[in-house]
Amino acid sequence: MANSRNFRRLVIAAPTKLPVGKLMLVGMMVGLIAGCTVISREKGLQAPDAAPRDEIEFELLPPLDTSSANLSGAVALPLPGSAPTDVAVPGGATSGSACRGEALYRITFAATWSPETHPARYPDGAHFSRPVAISHSAGAGFWAFGNFASAGVEQMAESGGTQILREELTSLNAGGQAGEAVIGNSFAAPGEETMELSVTADRPQISYVSMLAPSPDWFVGVSGLDTCGRNGWIEEIEVAVFPIDAGTDDGRSFGAENVDSDTKHFVALLSASGDTPLRDIGRLEFGKLLFTRIGTSSETATVE
């Protein structure tokens, strides 16, 4: 089913009306079993006050057609030649099972967003804000699909600012849930930004964000990417990145004026929007994140 481009429609029906979240969870589970990406084109399903439903229609797409995201926030796609047993498992399914000590990763964001890749909607001054990355234990990331954006993620997604997010990461670090955090430099698109991050056996996951700018509240990133595979530290992980809607602003174009949402929505892929222009923007890849193990690290950094 995952490789079929003909099987596209999935309807989840219940004998009585149920909370939307339960129906969506069933749809996502079907997608996981089938190896597909499950998205809904309906608007307002993610609103906290969404009315109960007895039926929701989904679209099934092959994973590589839309994004590398799943319930845990990211799926690591193994590079050609890598062993299947070395595939990262989001959500910490293998965290710590075969990894010891520390590992140092180079994170390279190769942004391909350009007039050539997005000829219809490429804004003036296209760039990405200062990327923020942190290592953490399973489930302790600072953002995830299906959750509401924190104040720090909202500030990052709407303005590129990092002050509030730094404070949130410092709190995670103080609570023992997070390890090293690093902040890179903003850069024009297309372009590339590289930074290094240490992970440990008890904090093997990486979460990363960078604002897509200019935009209302869109960003790119991964959440809970596990660097520990079944055979130890994974040597290299590549993730295709697609625009993500923080759910805090109702703007519908790159240069839209700031229009805070009356009702906040869950963090979701822009391609899942019911709005056709937004959906079209979200379907196009904006670049790749490459995580390459370059050795071990004996130093521990903090948010600066």
If asked whether residues 206 and 261 sit together in one domain, one would say yes
If asked whether residues 35 and 131 sit together in one domain, one would say no
Total domains present in the chain: 2
Rounded distance between C-alpha atoms, residue 108 and residue 273, angstroms? 28
* Bond into 80 cis (ω within 30): no
If asked whether residues 120 and 223 sit together in one domain, one would say yes
If asked whether residues 140 and 201 sit together in one domain, one would say yes
Predicted confidence (pLDDT) at residue 226 exceeds the cutoff of 50: yes
107 found inside a domain: yes
pLDDT value for 291 = 97
300 found inside a domain: no
Q: Which of 78-82, 132-136, 299-303 ranks highest by mean pLDDT?
A: 132-136
Predicted confidence (pLDDT) at residue 75 exceeds the cutoff of 90: no
Instruction: Give the mean pLDDT of 9-31.
Output: 69
170's enclosing H/E stretch is: helix 163-174
If asked whether residues 28 and 98 sit together in one domain, one would say no
If asked whether residues 76 and 115 sit together in one domain, one would say yes
109 found inside a domain: yes
If asked whether residues 38 and 123 sit together in one domain, one would say no
269 found inside a domain: yes
Both structure tokens of 298: 């004996």
Instruction: Give the end of a domain, one of 64, 87, 106.
Output: 64
Instruction: Note if the pTM is more than 0.75.
Output: no
Lowest mean pLDDT among 56-70, 72-86, 184-198: 72-86
CATH number of the domain encompassing residue 277:
2.60.40.2130
Task: Indicate the pLDDT class of residue 56, thresholds 50, 70 and 90.
Answer: confident
Rounded distance between C-alpha atoms, residue 12 and residue 226, angstroms? 31
> Quick one: which of 78, 76, 39 has its CA closest to 61?
39
If asked whether residues 41 and 181 sit together in one domain, one would say no
pLDDT value for 254 = 87
303 found inside a domain: no
* Contact indicator for 236, 79 with CB cutoff of 8 Å: yes
Q: Return mean pLDDT, the chain.
A: 77
If asked whether residues 50 and 71 sit together in one domain, one would say no
117 found inside a domain: yes
* Bond into 214 cis (ω within 30): yes
Rounded distance between C-alpha atoms, residue 25 and residue 231, angstroms? 31
If asked whether residues 116 and 173 sit together in one domain, one would say yes
> Quick one: which of 29, 27, 25, 32 has its CA closest to 10?
27
Instruction: Give the mean pLDDT of 155-171.
Output: 95
Predicted confidence (pLDDT) at residue 177 exceeds the cutoff of 60: yes
Full residue range of the structural domain in which residue 36 is found? 9-64
If asked whether residues 139 and 254 sit together in one domain, one would say yes
Instruction: Give the end of a domain, one of 21, 42, 64.
Output: 64
Instruction: Give the mean pLDDT of 61-87.
Output: 34
| Helix axes of 151-159 and 163-174: crossing angle, nearest 10 degrees | 150
If asked whether residues 57 and 79 sit together in one domain, one would say no
105 found inside a domain: yes
Instruction: Give the end of a domain, one of 38, 64, 90.
Output: 64
What's at 152, amino acid-wise? Answer: G
Lowest mean pLDDT among 56-65, 71-80, 156-165: 71-80
79 found inside a domain: yes
Lowest mean pLDDT among 42-51, 117-126, 177-186, 208-217: 42-51
